Amino acid sequence: MTDSTFTPRVFSGIKPSGGLTLGNYLGAIKRWVDMQDGETETIYCAVDLHAITVWQDPTGLKAGTREIAAGMLASGIDPEKSILFNQSQVPEHTQLAWIFNCVARLGWMNRMTQFKDKAGKNAEKASLGLYAYPSLMAADILLYHATHVPVGEDQKQHVELTRDIANKFNNDFGVDFFPVTEPVIEGPGTRVMNLRDGTKKMSKSGESDMERINMLDDADTIAKKFKKAKTDPDGIPETLDGLNGRPEAKNLVDIYSGLADMTAEAVVAEYAGAGWGKFKPALAELAVAKLAPISDEMKRLMDDPAEIDRKLARGAERAREIATPILEKTYDIVGLLR
Ligand code: AQP
């Protein structure tokens, strides 16, 4: 089956496992804002249950969840147009995840590269939750019959697993109940890389703060981080091909392109032949111009945590209106007596 029989609906989430980064903004939130202005219903979530798959300080987790919500609101997610909530306020996510734990196969989970990356050599000591993460992510998406999931490149494999789970559930029970969701991975910010190593992605929980731009960084910090970002002796090439095999240089051009809403070709054309001494300050100036209004608004919103909590609770109520009947029907299909 295809998703064509389902009303288009968008779902996506961010886990509060640290402060929001430029990667989260360009790879996710900025594109979510654009999507909420169409006809399609949009549902966005701070996925706090995913965050606890690795240790989180409880006070920090609450603050981080509010920061994610503030980041989404400050970037332009409108809680009247979109449904905005935190995952743990909608218990149907974990209820559906259990059903999917019984549908997904161990062999599928064993192929997940994110688990291998995060568990590293110490996989025996990783939590069971970290291993089962993609099954909960499938539940997040399919609980709303979401047909489209805008994500960064790093989440593509998990969305493919979601498709496998939907297909297997539908085949096992002889139904056309879950849509086969499409990942939406487009635009220049789908893979923002670490500023100190262009072969690794920029992450909230990366070891050094110098490797990422946080949404709450001030102008001086942003300028310092770009100034110290790893590059190579060659500056901006004449054409895009000149960035091949130069991950750090390509990353800075891609970041500029994502922030300026320009193609990478246009960025290279504008700065062709420029050295880093010219390009990096221009990038820092652009980043501050785009991010400062967002971080100012985030700080303002975070000064009133009760209002953020109220918005999240209201969003959770609206989310449950969609989720409850879908979970009930799932239980019925599976044969769970109500
Ligand atoms: N570097 C990135 N470039 C583009 N997109 C990114 N995303 C994250 N990092 C980048 C996108 O942001 C959304 C939310 O991701 P997440 O926070 O739920 O999970 P993650 O991808 O594991 O993020 P981090 O920052 O790497 O968190 P930690 O360090 O805690 O594991 C997703 O759409 C993701 O693609």
Q: What is the pLDDT of residues 98-133, one digit of tens each?
A: 999 999 999 999 999 999 988 988 899 999 999 999
> Counting every residue, how long is the chain?
338
pTM: 0.94
Task: List the residue whose alpha carbon is closest to atom 15 of ligand 1.
Answer: 14
Q: Which of 125, 156, 200, 201 is catalytic?
A: 201
Task: List the residue whose alpha carbon is closest to atom 8 of ligand 1.
Answer: 24
Q: For residue 1, what pLDDT is reported? A: 43
- DSSP β-bridge partners for residue 14: 46
Which atom of ligand 1 lies nearest, measured to the CA of 24?
12
- Band (pLDDT 50/70/90 cuts) for residue 3 is very low
CA 127/CA 219 separation, integer angstroms: 38
Q: How far is the CA of 299 from the centre of ligand 1 (A)?
A: 22
Q: How far is the CA of 334 from the centre of ligand 1 (A)?
A: 33
Q: What is the pLDDT of residues 276-297, one digit of tens each?
A: 999 999 999 999 999 999 999 9
Which atom of ligand 1 lies nearest, measured to the CA of 155?
35
Which atom of ligand 1 lies nearest, measured to the CA of 189?
4
Q: Which of 81, 125, 156, 204 is catalytic?
A: 204
Q: How far is the CA of 45 from the centre of ligand 1 (A)?
A: 13
Task: List the residue whose alpha carbon is closest to atom 18 of ligand 1.
Answer: 14
- Band (pLDDT 50/70/90 cuts) for residue 4 is low
- Residue to mutate (ligand 1; options 117, 154, 190; most atoms within 8 A of CB): 154
Which atom of ligand 1 lies nearest, measured to the CA of 153?
35
Q: How far is the CA of 20 from the centre of ligand 1 (A)?
A: 9
Q: How far is the CA of 77 from the centre of ligand 1 (A)?
A: 18
- Find the mean pLDDT for residues 148-161: 93
Is there a catalytic annotation at residue 280? no
Name all domains of the chain by residue range, CATH numbers in brackets: 3-184+304-334 (3.40.50.620), 209-300 (1.10.240.10)
Q: What is the pLDDT of residues 207-266, one digit of tens each?
A: 899 999 999 999 999 999 999 999 999 999 999 999 999 999 999 999 999 999 999 999
Report the pocket of ligand 1 as residue ranges, CB < 6 Å.
Answer: 12, 14-15, 17-18, 21, 23-24, 27-28, 151-152, 154-155, 189-192, 201-205
Which atom of ligand 1 lies nearest, measured to the CA of 201?
1
The radius of gyration computed from the CA coordinates of the chain, to the nearest angstrom, equals 21
Is there a catalytic annotation at residue 204? yes
Q: Tell me what the pLDDT averaged over the chain comes to.
A: 95
Q: For residue 120, what pLDDT is reported? A: 86
Name, in order, each residue with C-beta under 8 angstroms of 203's C-beta and a sequence gap of 6 or more. 18, 21, 23, 194, 212
Q: How far is the CA of 17 from the centre of ligand 1 (A)?
A: 10
Answer yes or no: is pLDDT of 139 > 80. yes
- Residue to mutate (ligand 1; options 93, 203, 205, 207; most atoms within 8 A of CB): 203
Q: For residue 252, what pLDDT is reported? A: 97
Q: What is the pLDDT of residues 182-217, one digit of tens each?
A: 999 987 778 999 999 999 999 998 889 999 999 999
Rama region for 233: left / alpha / beta (φ>0; ψ in -120 to 50; rest): alpha
Q: Which of 118, 156, 200, 290 is catalytic?
A: 118
CA 12/CA 18 separation, integer angstroms: 18
Q: For residue 75, what pLDDT is reported? A: 98
Task: List the residue whose alpha carbon is closest to atom 35 of ligand 1.
Answer: 152
